[in-house]
Amino acid sequence: MKKILGLKILIVATLLFGSCTNLDQEFYDRVTPETFFKSEKDIKAALYRPFTHARWYLGEDRWNLQEYTADQFAITTKGRHWYNGGENERYHYHRWTPDDNWIWGTWRGTLMGVALALDAKQDLEKLDYTKFALTQADKDDHVNQLNTLIAFFYLRGLDYFGGLPIFESLDAESLPRNTDKETFAHIEKLLKEAILKLPKKKAGDKEEGAFRQAGAAALLARLYFNAEAYVGQPMFAECKKLCQDILAHQYGDYSLDATWYGPHSFTNDRSPEIIWSIPSEFNKLQYDWFFNPFYHYNTTKYLDIDGGPWNGAHLTPSKKPTGEWYVEYKLGSPFRKYNDLDLRKRPYKYLGGGRYEGMFIFGPHLTPSGAVINGGEEYKDQPLVFVDQVGRFSEVGPGKRYASISELPSRMADGEENTGVRPVKVPIPNNTDKSLRWGADNPAIRLTEIQYMLAECLLREGDKGGAAALINEVRKRNFENGTDPDPVTADNLDDYRMLDEWGIEFLAEGRRRTDLIRWKKFTTESWWDHQPSDNHYNRFPVPTQAISGNNNLAQNDGY
């Protein structure tokens, strides 16, 4: 009987991620594309399946490894909640091990993504598209979308782990890891070939999840942008050229959105800034994984919605328990980094009809009508007020654990139910407009990233003025009448200001660890309740579960 590894992987993925509930199907020992594909609909179903995996992959464990290990986010222990066996502290303090679940989920999800895309690609390559009233151009588009998706998964895996097993067929088993440079070269080759055959976006086209030329070019720019961390060879000049070409419309028609919320709104499929996104729609592959971890149990009253959030994650604090700023750290304190006049720094408020303002939950928690929302843990039957601090304030006072606020420690172990500012990067409508919920697509690649990459390349060349102009072109949309009270200048732009600008614009977009590593600050710098760690933590270990299933896999140094 012919072994079809792709079919095995597809069945395993279905069982793991719940895309199919009919498990009573009859499977044959030989399935070929020529007999399976009956219509264009079948072709598109095969093409889209790996993209649904990418939708899952962009959140959860992969996001966790990028953000909770860095300086902008934390999941503090809140009384009896969220200690989780010390897992959250291990990531914050850089003490993770090969046995940690987020790492295993990311390794497995990366290679499964490659396998799913490769499986679909191999099937589609065998088809005569003319039998489906399709053209060779259609076939080239589909195959190279999958090549780009394979490169995307390998690029993310290279970022997390270094070299990965490279496979271009699903027949091989127990492959060893290729080197960092071999993995890098494989990604580069896939993307360079895809760019030549993918179509360009035209003005007015909606972004509905397909890769076009600019998407492949942007991924190639990312590869070069971080090449020094990946293979020890700076390639900022190569990144610069790609970014300039993308901005010059050589790979399609894109422009910056006029508003800060345009790339994130319910209609962001029409934003001219989106280069690649993952579509989302209420009850249809909705982009919502972050809702439960970020928000308090009673935030449903604040938002006037249904649901059951878990009250875990928040921004790292800008203030000490005493109210003083954390001036000793150049990194972290993300809420403070937003200028007070920044339109995003207002409390999130849904205005109806798909309109909203602000990007954060902080301060007194009130219903839309202004009624006080009480807590349910430390502040049970007391008004809930979210603070940009971490400390057990409920334990201060006569006869309590701490005599005064000045005695309060501020650590991962010291959270409360109201600890931390909560971001609302993805808008949430109220129950009146429930049909809009999760209608905002996940903007996986934005033109702003291209502009900021180019700015950083110019900064590294010494052209601070040119870099500042590119950043300020984006910043001005965040202020009334485009008047920025704290623009970037040649005098104030350095590596820390550049990191601040990345952190402000791309807060919660799952990239912070990579940016810190590129600037050699991920393991060398301090931020709130975090001290420098060993250099080997720039990469995650190969998970124990992966090695136990394939003893040809070599472990990363230091683990």
Report which of 167, 164, 191, 192 is spatially closest to residue 180, judged by C-alpha positions.
Answer: 164
Q: Residues of the chain whose pLDDT is less than 50?
A: 1-30
Domain segments of the chain as ranges: 1-198, 289-430
Residues ≥6 apart with Cβ < 8 Å to 384 = 296, 298, 364, 365, 372, 373, 374, 375, 417, 418
The topology (CATH level 3) of 1-198 is 1.25.40
Q: What pLDDT shows up at residue 556? A: 98
- pTM comes to 0.94
Residues ≥6 apart with Cβ < 8 Å to 349 = 356, 357, 358, 368
Helix axis angle for 447-461 and 213-225, nearest 10°, is: 30
Reduce the DSSP state of residue 363 to 3 states and report it: strand
Residue where the block lists tokens 């850089």: 94
Q: Which tens digit of pLDDT belongs to each residue from 1-51?
A: 223 333 344 434 333 333 333 333 343 344 566 667 999 999 999 999 999
Strands 385-386 and 363-364: antiparallel
Q: What pLDDT shows up at residue 203? A: 84
Q: What pLDDT shows up at residue 450? A: 98
Q: What DSSP element (H or E) covers 275?
A: strand 274-278
102-135 burial string, b = 16+ CB within 10 Å, else e?
bbbbbbbbbbbbbbbbbbbbbbbeebebeebebe
Q: What pLDDT shows up at residue 282? A: 86
